């Protein structure tokens, strides 16, 4: 099979294959063709790809005869020309917001696979682009907070006196939150964290941070369904608001990451609560694109309210394009290689499978995913 790797649009510095995955694909017997300049913004030159065994060409030549097309973002509806009927289109295709493009993939006869809909099962962990990119976002949120904060993170004992450690509170302890805790600890902050899922308590402790949990009302026992949180009762929300109010007044840095699949992000910090925070405190809201966990947060901007900087973080993994591309590319390789058929040197889908129906958007000219059709 020929695998095409396309260059990303102007606002997307990541790329869907790195020399390491090119080498692995060629090792499986695939031919890999990379669009010229595709890796440039991730620090990978065309000659790096060539050395790994890829050919380099313009989009038309790269797409010609390709049975799989790897992208970071899905192409627009008017960009599918040149893609071969029956080819796999694999990447973060954003199907909910890009209905027109999905329809165009179906019309072009592509088999589009949305990697962000990968089920959260053990087998698919290494294929999960949301986890790999969230991990980097959690790290970068803390680095950005540290650079916006006008003080140091660690305690420092100097001849001129002691610098107190920053107090950092992480709200939402999924993949991004855990990495945020670990990063803030490494930088020397005093870290506390909260979540609605009881399973996270031990994880917080194991990273050396302090769990801050609502105890009066029951949260979500264990991991929650598929690892995801649901919407909480009014009673829980009230208890959480009280807990947060008393805690955030003493914090310098707050990182919020709380998401509920298919719903707007839960509101965790109100304007009234912001007023209680110290002047100069910094909040990074990783849920900004889903409406924000913090009242007044604006996606993609830093706003100041009551002396508190609120950073509406968007797609932070893009700011670490080299590592983000490497993890994203390995996710795609892990997915395709898990289905690889040695004889045909192409992926072969089994009859029964938990992953494919979850991520497949289009097949045989039709939109087939039940999240889009029901
Ligand atoms: P997420 O991005 O959906 O949400 C971030 C965090 O916010 C979650 O921990 C969630 O519980 C929390 N949250 C939601 N509402 C909240 C509220 N009102 N207050 C406080 N916190 C709130 O989560 P995620 O990062 O994708 O990870 C969630 C879990 O799923 C983790 O345990 C993770 O390890 C697991 N997971 C498993 C796989 C796999 O097995 N393949 C893949 C990805 C994630």
Q: Cβ distance 159 to 200 under 8 Å?
A: no
Sequence-ordered list of residues with C-beta below 8 angstroms from that of 76, at least 6 positions apart, any chain: 101, 104
Domains of the chain with CATH codes: 2-117+320-366 (3.40.50.720), 137-314 (3.40.50.720)
Whether complex ipTM tops 0.85:
yes
Ligand 1 pocket list (CB less than 6 A): 120-122, 124-125, 128, 131, 134, 171-177, 194-197, 223, 227-229, 232, 257-260, 266, 268
Instruction: Measure 285 CA to ligand 1 centroid, in angstroms.
Output: 15
For ligand 1, atom 39, the nearest C-alpha belongs to: 120
Q: Could you tell me the CA-to-CA distances from 131 to 18, 103, 328, 346, 365 in Å, in that order?
A: 19, 27, 10, 26, 31
Ligand 1 atom nearest residue 173's Cα: 9
Burial class (CB in 10 A: 0-12, 13-18, 19+), 44: buried
Ligand 1 center to 258 CA (angstroms): 8
Q: Per-residue confidence of the chain (374 residues) as pLDDT tens digits?
A: 999 999 999 999 999 999 999 999 999 999 999 999 999 999 999 999 999 999 999 999 999 999 999 999 999 999 999 999 999 999 999 999 999 999 999 999 999 999 999 999 999 999 999 999 999 999 999 999 999 999 999 999 999 999 999 999 999 999 999 999 999 999 999 999 999 998 999 999 999 999 999 888 887 776 666 667 778 888 988 888 898 898 999 999 999 999 887 789 999 999 999 999 999 999 999 999 999 999 999 999 999 999 999 999 999 999 999 999 999 999 999 999 999 999 999 999 999 999 999 999 999 999 999 999 98
Catalytic residue, chosen from 8, 41, 73, 128, is: 128
């Amino acid at each position: 099979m020929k695998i095409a790797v396309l260059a990303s649009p102007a606002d997307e510095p990541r790329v869907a294959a790195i020399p390491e995955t090119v080498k692995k694909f060629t090792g499986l017997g695939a031919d890999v063709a990379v669009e010229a300049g595709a890796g440039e913004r991730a620090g990978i030159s065309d000659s790096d790809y060539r050395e790994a065994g890829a050919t380099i060409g313009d989009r038309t030549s790269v797409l010609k005869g390709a049975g799989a097309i790897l992208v970071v973002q899905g192409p627009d509806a008017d960009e599918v020309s040149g893609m071969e009927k029956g080819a796999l289109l694999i990447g973060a295709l954003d199907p909910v917001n890009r209905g027109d493009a999905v329809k165009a993939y179906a019309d072009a006869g592509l088999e589009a696979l949305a990697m962000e809909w990968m089920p959260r099962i053990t087998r698919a962990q290494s294929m999960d682009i949301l986890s790999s990119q969230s991990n980097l976002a959690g790290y970068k949120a803390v680095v950005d907070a540290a650079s916006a904060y006008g003080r140091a993170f660690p305690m420092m004992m100097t001849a001129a006196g002691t610098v107190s450690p920053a107090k950092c509170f992480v709200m939402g302890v999924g993949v991004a939150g855990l990495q945020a805790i670990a990063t803030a600890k490494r930088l020397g902050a005093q870290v506390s964290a909260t979540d609605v899922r009881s399973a996270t308590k031990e994880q917080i402790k194991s990273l050396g941070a302090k769990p801050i949990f609502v105890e009066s009302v029951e949260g979500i026992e264990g991991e929650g369904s598929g690892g995801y949180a649901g919407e909480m009762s009014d009673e829980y929300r009230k208890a959480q608001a009280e807990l947060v109010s008393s805690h955030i007044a003493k914090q310098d840095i707050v990182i919020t990451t709380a998401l509920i699949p298919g719903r707007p992000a839960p509101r965790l910090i109100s304007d009234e609560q912001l007023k209680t925070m110290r002047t100069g405190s910094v909040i990074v809201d990783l849920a900004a694109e889903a409406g924000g966990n913090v009242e007044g947060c604006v996606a993609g901007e830093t706003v100041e309210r009551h002396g508190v900087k609120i950073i509406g973080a968007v797609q932070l993994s893009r700011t670490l394009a080299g590592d983000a591309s490497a993890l994203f590319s390995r996710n795609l390789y892990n997915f395709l290689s898990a289905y690889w058929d040695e004889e045909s040197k192409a992926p072969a889908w089994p009859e029964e499978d938990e992953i494919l129906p979850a991520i497949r958007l289009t097949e045989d000219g039709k939109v087939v995913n039940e999240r889009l059709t029901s």
